[in-house]
Chains A and B, each alone.
Chain A
Amino acid sequence: MASDSISAQQAGSPDSSDPGGADDRLTRWLHPPIRVCLWVAILAGTLMMLNVTLDVAGRTLFSVPLPGTTEVVSAYYMVAAAYLPWAWLALNDDHIKVDLFARMLPPRAALVQDVFARLATMAYLALFTWQAWVMALQQTAKGEVWEAAGFYIPVWPTRWMLPLAGGLMLLFLALQLVGRIVRPVRRRHGS
């Protein structure tokens, strides 16, 4: 656990899934939707680069900016990039944490600590997902739009990315937790 975040960082793009075990069986079915979310974020990032480049090239070279760039980039691409990879980060255990004390702990205490950190994360995600869901319903009912140069861009669909990302990560962490608690018990029975 302790060295995970560091070794993952230097690898640049970590793609190592969970090293087998009970949690693997419980969470494996979530891998496809998690990947799809990551791919949508990647698509959003690519479009952001192309859209902004076109806009700046159009503006400086031909004085013809691409209308609505700011709005589409901020509301669509940005929100996708900021939230959709969350569950994938959890899958790769890549969230930033403080590891100093964990390294000094005996395995049992480390497990307790891991469970505590996970429960705190889940509680936070549950609040986030619930409220993001409420907000998404509200803005959808209102048909939220942003005003761009002379026209309106509907942005309410992007509100749904938040509960989707939060919910997926929450579900993944919950199932993984169940697996982690089951695994040591089973191992003890085996040996």
Chain B
Amino acid sequence: MDTITVAIVSLAALLVLLALKVPIGVALGLISFAGFWILLNFDVALSTIRTIPYEFSANWDLTAIPMFLLMGAIVNQSGISTALFRAARLWLGGLPGGLAVATNMACAGFGAASGSSVAASAAMARLAVPEMLRHGYDKGLAAGVVACGGTLAALIPPSILFVLYGIFAQVSIVDLLIAGVLPGILTATVYTAMILIRCRINPALAPETGKVEFRANRAERWIALAEVWPLLLLILAVIGGLYGGVVSPTEAGAGGAFVALLIAVLQGRMKLPDFLASMKEAMSATAQIFFVGMGAVMYTRFLAFSGAGNFLTETIGSWAFDPILLVLALSIVYLILGMFLDPLGIMLITIPVFLPMFQALNLDLVWLGVIMVKYIEIGLLTPPVGFNVYVVKGVVGDRIPLETIFRGCFWFLACEVVIMALLIGFPEISLFLPETMR
């Protein structure tokens, strides 16, 4: 077999193993092992598995992952999301669909302190959905906004997906993190506009009980804000520190985790067991990422060695003169993969395959990183296996059927079409902030 055939067979074998429920990290690792064995020999295959894992993990750049995860876990365990939601609701409750708008904003705030969409959706589903249902909100809207709002976490720094992408694509992680800020704000804004318009047109979606409460609680608003301002300040400090080049992503994560811990302890939200639970959450997620990640590194090396990247680029390059076409083709691939795989898996499987093409076509890798993360997050919302939808379903239980949640996400997915068109059509939205850093 020639090298290209081996590479293509390896892709097919990868999909088969995944369908057979083999863990992604194992599938990637075993296939690269077999690939090196077939293309070269057994000793080379052994030496890749001997050297790559340690090299990959004992890496300063990747230390941002456990630190971002820890910051998110501390914020999550401290229960500050309750205060965030209360503040957002007291300030935004008077708008049409005010509770849904407040939930969306609280998701953005929580996401800015945590890099995990799943954690953001789970936390907000626990708080906001019962409130919205109590006020007679449409079930689809209530569940949809937490499932979709959660995806903001992966765009607004800190973001685990951007760190991983940066490592594999060898692009500045800081650039990527900063590039996610405006698209994150854009997404939150478009979501908010959609909720406002829908609730203005059809007030039955969100009965206006919130308004009465809103007027009554003018003084309480400032009290609620007093509780969340330390966290908001920390978020600004983390983003500002990265933007100003004062701290590296790891330092922003470690310092952010430490200050978040300090705030939580001082506000009486965190005792030792909560801290240990945060650590457990962060460390097991770290180990999980590295288990998959080291397989992905081996597979990347194997594909690079086989020359599959060049082959795919030549094949595709002949029809994709226009990079926009390539990006559109990607959207199809990601939408399909997003129906079956979780975000980390999608990212780590597709990077080795797509990156050589992007590089060959001289596309901006930071911009593509943003597009890729967006697609992956959209994949969390699409049936049959929208991961975030299942997370919300797990929290709300029997109160809302799965179909209703998916239906609720439909309007947000319609927004995503607009957002993606803007992000693809105007790369400046993503690239403006990182460019001002230079």
Contacts and interface: CB of A to CB of B under 8 A. Distances in A.
B385 A13 contact: no
B287 A113 contact: no
Nearest to B295: A124
Interface in B263-312: 276-277, 279-284, 286-288, 290-292
B21 interface: yes
Contacts of A55: 251
Nearest to A169: B291
Contacts of A159: 54
A134 B284 contact: no
A120 B17 contact: yes
A73 interface: yes
Most buried by B among A38, A57, A98, A128: A98
Most B CB contacts (10 A, CB to CB) among A10, A56, A85, A135 go to A10
A13 B280 contact: yes
B247 interface: yes
Interface in A48-76: 48-53, 55-57, 60, 70, 73-75
A17 interface: no
Interface stretch (B23-31, B84-92, B127-135): B23-31
B394 A7 contact: yes
Interface string B166-181: 0000000000000000
B30 A38 contact: no
Interface in A117-151: 117, 120-121, 123-124, 127-128, 131-132, 134-135
Contact of A12 (B58, B76, B254, B286): B76
B358 interface: no
Given A9-B391, A52-B254, A98-B21, A41 B287 contact: yes
A95 interface: yes
Nearest to B33: A127
Interface string B60-96: 1011001100100100110000000000000000000
A78 B63 contact: yes
B276 A42 contact: yes
A78 B76 contact: no
Contact of B21 (A10, A41, A113): A113
Contact of B391 (A10, A89, A127): A10
Contacts of B282: 45
A103 B58 CA distance: 38
B283 A42 contact: yes
A49 B283 contact: no
Given A6-B394, A86-B287, A79 B57 contact: yes
B10 to A, nearest CB: 15
Given A73-B63, A159-B54, A102 B283 contact: no
Contacts of A51: 254
Which of B54, B122, B258, B344 lies at the interface centre, i.e. has the most chain A CB atoms within 10 A of its CB?
B54
Contacts of B345: 96, 98
B329 interface: no
B246 A52 contact: no
B23 A135 contact: no
B59 interface: yes
Given A38-B280, A56-B247, A100-B385, A74 B26 contact: no
Contacts of B390: 6
A85 B284 contact: yes
Interface string B368-392: 0000000000000000110100110
27 contacts: A9-B118, A10-B394, A12-B281, A48-B63, A51-B254, A55-B251, A56-B247, A56-B255, A74-B59, A74-B63, A78-B62, A81-B66, A85-B283, A85-B284, A94-B288, A96-B23, A96-B25, A97-B18, A97-B23, A98-B19, A98-B24, A98-B345, A101-B21, A120-B22, A123-B30, A131-B46, A135-B50
Interface of A: 6-7, 9-10, 12-13, 15, 38, 41-42, 44-46, 48-53, 55-57, 60, 70, 73-75, 77-79, 81-86, 88-89, 92, 94-102, 113-114, 116-117, 120-121, 123-124, 127-128, 131-132, 134-135, 155, 158-159, 162
